[in-house]
Amino acid sequence: MFQATKNVDGGDRGGSRFQCGTLALMATRRVHAIVSGRVQGVSYRAATADTARRLGICGWVRNLPDGSVELEAEGATEQITAMLEWCGRGPPAAQVAKVASTDLAPTGVDTAFVIQG
Protein backbone atom coordinates (compact mmCIF):
# COMPACT_ATOMS: atom_id res chain seq x y z
CA MET A 1 0.00 0.00 0.00
CA PHE A 2 1.36 3.40 -0.91
CA GLN A 3 0.73 7.10 -0.42
CA ALA A 4 2.16 10.05 -2.30
CA THR A 5 4.75 11.92 -0.24
CA LYS A 6 5.39 15.64 -0.15
CA ASN A 7 8.50 17.74 0.34
CA VAL A 8 8.47 20.14 3.28
CA ASP A 9 7.77 22.96 0.82
CA GLY A 10 4.53 21.21 -0.21
CA GLY A 11 5.70 20.03 -3.63
CA ASP A 12 5.66 16.38 -4.42
CA ARG A 13 8.90 14.54 -5.04
CA GLY A 14 8.91 14.16 -8.79
CA GLY A 15 5.16 13.56 -8.83
CA SER A 16 5.46 9.80 -8.52
CA ARG A 17 7.09 8.87 -5.21
CA PHE A 18 5.34 6.65 -2.72
CA GLN A 19 5.86 5.66 0.87
CA CYS A 20 5.80 1.98 1.81
CA GLY A 21 3.06 0.59 3.99
CA THR A 22 0.33 3.24 3.54
CA LEU A 23 -2.96 3.39 1.66
CA ALA A 24 -2.72 3.04 -2.12
CA LEU A 25 -4.12 5.73 -4.36
CA MET A 26 -2.77 4.18 -7.56
CA ALA A 27 -2.46 0.65 -8.89
CA THR A 28 0.26 -1.38 -7.22
CA ARG A 29 2.36 -4.15 -8.65
CA ARG A 30 4.65 -6.73 -7.02
CA VAL A 31 7.32 -8.61 -8.92
CA HIS A 32 9.83 -11.35 -8.22
CA ALA A 33 12.97 -11.13 -10.36
CA ILE A 34 16.19 -13.06 -10.86
CA VAL A 35 19.04 -11.04 -12.37
CA SER A 36 21.89 -13.01 -13.92
CA GLY A 37 25.26 -12.07 -15.35
CA ARG A 38 28.10 -10.33 -13.53
CA VAL A 39 25.90 -9.03 -10.72
CA GLN A 40 27.72 -10.06 -7.54
CA GLY A 41 30.76 -8.22 -6.23
CA VAL A 42 29.81 -5.09 -8.19
CA SER A 43 27.56 -3.37 -5.59
CA TYR A 44 24.45 -4.57 -7.40
CA ARG A 45 22.43 -5.15 -4.20
CA ALA A 46 23.34 -1.77 -2.71
CA ALA A 47 22.58 0.06 -5.94
CA THR A 48 19.29 -1.84 -6.28
CA ALA A 49 18.27 -0.83 -2.76
CA ASP A 50 19.23 2.81 -3.43
CA THR A 51 17.24 2.84 -6.67
CA ALA A 52 14.21 1.19 -5.07
CA ARG A 53 14.24 3.66 -2.18
CA ARG A 54 14.55 6.59 -4.59
CA LEU A 55 11.53 5.26 -6.50
CA GLY A 56 9.55 4.65 -3.30
CA ILE A 57 9.46 0.86 -3.74
CA CYS A 58 9.23 -1.67 -0.90
CA GLY A 59 10.74 -5.16 -0.91
CA TRP A 60 14.10 -6.89 -0.67
CA VAL A 61 17.18 -7.99 -2.61
CA ARG A 62 19.70 -10.78 -1.96
CA ASN A 63 22.54 -12.72 -3.58
CA LEU A 64 21.93 -16.33 -4.61
CA PRO A 65 24.54 -19.10 -4.41
CA ASP A 66 24.61 -19.46 -8.23
CA GLY A 67 25.95 -15.90 -8.66
CA SER A 68 22.63 -14.29 -9.55
CA VAL A 69 20.64 -11.71 -7.57
CA GLU A 70 17.03 -12.21 -6.47
CA LEU A 71 14.59 -9.48 -5.55
CA GLU A 72 10.96 -8.81 -4.81
CA ALA A 73 9.65 -5.29 -5.25
CA GLU A 74 6.25 -3.71 -4.70
CA GLY A 75 5.10 -0.24 -5.61
CA ALA A 76 3.18 1.85 -8.09
CA THR A 77 3.05 0.21 -11.51
CA GLU A 78 5.14 2.96 -13.10
CA GLN A 79 7.84 2.69 -10.44
CA ILE A 80 8.05 -1.10 -10.77
CA THR A 81 8.43 -0.75 -14.54
CA ALA A 82 11.24 1.78 -13.98
CA MET A 83 12.86 -0.55 -11.42
CA LEU A 84 12.86 -3.51 -13.81
CA GLU A 85 14.35 -1.32 -16.56
CA TRP A 86 17.10 -0.25 -14.14
CA CYS A 87 17.71 -3.91 -13.17
CA GLY A 88 18.47 -4.62 -16.83
CA ARG A 89 21.33 -2.10 -16.66
CA GLY A 90 22.42 -2.23 -13.03
CA PRO A 91 25.31 -0.24 -11.59
CA PRO A 92 28.27 0.68 -13.84
CA ALA A 93 30.42 -2.38 -13.00
CA ALA A 94 27.61 -4.89 -13.57
CA GLN A 95 27.16 -6.88 -16.75
CA VAL A 96 23.53 -7.96 -16.73
CA ALA A 97 22.81 -10.93 -18.98
CA LYS A 98 19.13 -11.46 -18.14
CA VAL A 99 16.31 -10.27 -15.90
CA ALA A 100 13.58 -12.89 -15.47
CA SER A 101 10.57 -11.43 -13.69
CA THR A 102 7.22 -12.77 -12.57
CA ASP A 103 4.27 -10.73 -11.37
CA LEU A 104 2.95 -11.58 -7.91
CA ALA A 105 -0.10 -10.44 -5.99
CA PRO A 106 0.70 -7.27 -4.02
CA THR A 107 0.91 -7.95 -0.28
CA GLY A 108 1.43 -4.54 1.31
CA VAL A 109 3.48 -6.16 4.09
CA ASP A 110 6.89 -4.64 3.32
CA THR A 111 7.61 -1.33 5.02
CA ALA A 112 10.97 -0.56 3.37
CA PHE A 113 13.38 -1.91 0.78
CA VAL A 114 16.08 -4.01 2.46
CA ILE A 115 19.21 -5.95 1.57
CA GLN A 116 19.03 -9.52 2.82
CA GLY A 117 22.09 -11.58 3.62
Number of other residues whose CB lies within 10 A of the CB of residue 3: 16
Give the sheet arrangement for strand 58-63, strand by strand: 95-104, 28-38, 69-76, 58-63, 113-115
Catalytic-role residue among 7, 13, 45, 53: 45
Catalytic-role residue among 7, 54, 63, 89: 63
Q: What Rg value do the Cα atoms of the chain yield, rounded? A: 14
Q: Does the annotation count 45 as an active-site position?
A: yes
Q: Does the annotation count 63 as an active-site position?
A: yes
Cite the active site residues.
45, 63
